[in-house]
């Protein structure tokens, strides 16, 4: 995928970059290994639509840099020193709910994946991810996708565990009783497709509606359910029995 597909002229070809600040995806890298941070920063610097705005090597500096820069994306090391990547993700999401957090792990661990879901991560990937794949994942998460859904619904044991957890709780730990806000038939249909792992574009194609219409419905769904993202909306709707569990 070329840089010119994301607007402007590729700076590596010597042309002017007409990209506006609004087009740039701003990234915070959180990892306690300086060499890893430098490698990722160098990789991302080659992409004209990506900008590393800060780095952090522990939980405290991660929170400070996040609040200072309000990044679009945070690359979060799962094995960050105590209190760790998951708790740091959870703390940052409370303060910056619109920031997409991509958790990077050394291996596929179902417990860690489950915890990442609860913390509000948008994606869970391995540190040996290819450079091109990492760039694509960053762009997709910045575009509003929750790639963690793919992981969850590909692992029935994790999906069942998620449902069991949230059947026993009020909406994401809120003390007040859930607000009864039934979704329209179309909203349920859209959320059901999202639960099967579809992107907005795929849902639009399946239902013969525009992608913008899907986005508008998703905004309405999030507002009605008082949740912050698609993953939370799917889990809540499943808990209520409004949509079905994805097929194994």
**Rounded CA separation 158/100 (Å):** 21
Q: Which is nearest to 19 in space by CA: 7, 31, 35?
A: 7
Burial class (CB in 10 A: 0-12, 13-18, 19+), 174: exposed
Q: What percent of the chain has pLDDT over 90?
A: 36
- pLDDT: which is higher, 112 or 182: 112
Q: Is it the case that residue 39 has pLDDT exceeding 90?
A: yes
What tokens appear for 207 in the block? Answer: 């239902």
Query: What is the average pLDDT score of the chain?
Result: 78
**Rounded CA separation 126/35 (Å):** 17
The string of DSSP letters for the chain reads: --GGGGSS--GGGT------GGGPEEEEEE-S-HHHHHHHHHHHHTSTTEEEEEEESSHHHHHHHHHHH--SEEEEETT-STTHHHHHHHHHHHH-TTSEEEEEESS--HHHHHHHHHHT-SEEEETT--HHHHHHHHHHHHTT--THHHHHHT-HHHHHHHHHHHHSSSGGG-SSPPP--PPPHHHHHHHHHHHTT--HHHHHHHHTS-HHHHHHHHHHHHHHHT-SSHHHHHHHHHHHTSSPPPP-
What tokens appear for 243 in the block? Answer: 């949509």
Where is mean pLDDT largest: 64-73, 163-172, 233-242? Answer: 64-73
pLDDT one-digit tens code per residue, 89-98: 988 988 887 8
- pLDDT: which is higher, 222 or 18: 222
**Rounded CA separation 164/166 (Å):** 6
Q: Is it the case that residue 38 has pLDDT exceeding 50?
A: yes
pLDDT one-digit tens code per residue, 126-150: 999 999 999 999 998 888 777 775 6
pLDDT one-digit tens code per residue, 160-183: 666 565 545 434 444 433 333 457
Q: Which is nearest to 189 in space by CA: 174, 204, 176, 178?
A: 204
pLDDT of residue 31: 96
Q: Is it the case that residue 17 has pLDDT exceeding 60?
A: no
User: Could you tell me which residues are beta bridge partners of residue 28?
Assistant: 54, 74
**Rounded CA separation 128/80 (Å):** 17
Please name each of the domains of the chain with its CATH number. Answer: 3-144 (3.40.50.2300), 156-240 (1.10.10.10)
- Cα angle, residue 199 at apex, residues 209 and 131 outer, rounded to 5°: 140
For the segment 151-160, the average pLDDT, to the nearest whole number, is: 64
């Amino acid at each position: 995928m070329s840089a010119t597909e994301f607007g402007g002229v590729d700076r590596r070809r010597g042309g002017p970059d007409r990209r506006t600040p609004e087009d740039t995806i701003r990234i915070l890298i959180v990892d306690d290994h300086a060499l890893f941070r430098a490698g990722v920063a160098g990789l991302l610097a080659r992409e004209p639509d990506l900008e590393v705005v800060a780095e952090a090597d522990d939980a405290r500096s991660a929170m400070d840099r996040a609040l200072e820069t309000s990044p679009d994306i945070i690359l979060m090391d799962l094995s960050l020193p105590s209190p760790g990547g998951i708790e740091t993700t959870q703390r940052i999401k409370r303060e910056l709910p619109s920031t997409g957090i991509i958790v990077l792990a050394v291996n596929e661990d179902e417990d860690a994946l489950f915890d990442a879901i609860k913390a509000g991560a948008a994606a869970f990937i391995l540190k040996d991810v290819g450079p091109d794949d990492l760039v694509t994942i960053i762009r997709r998460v910045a575009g509003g996708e929750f790639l963690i859904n793919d992981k969850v619904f590909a692992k029935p044991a994790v999906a069942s565990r998620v449902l069991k957890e949230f059947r026993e709780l009020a909406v994401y730990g809120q003390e007040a009783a859930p607000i009864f806000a039934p979704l329209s038939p179309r909203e349920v249909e859209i959320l059901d497709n999202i639960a099967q792992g579809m992107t907005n574009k795929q849902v639009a194609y399946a239902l013969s509606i525009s992608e913008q219409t899907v986005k508008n419905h998703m905004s309405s769904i999030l507002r009605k359910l008082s949740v912050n993202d698609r993953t939370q909306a799917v889990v809540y709707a499943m808990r209520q029995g409004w949509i079905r569990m994805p097929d194994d």
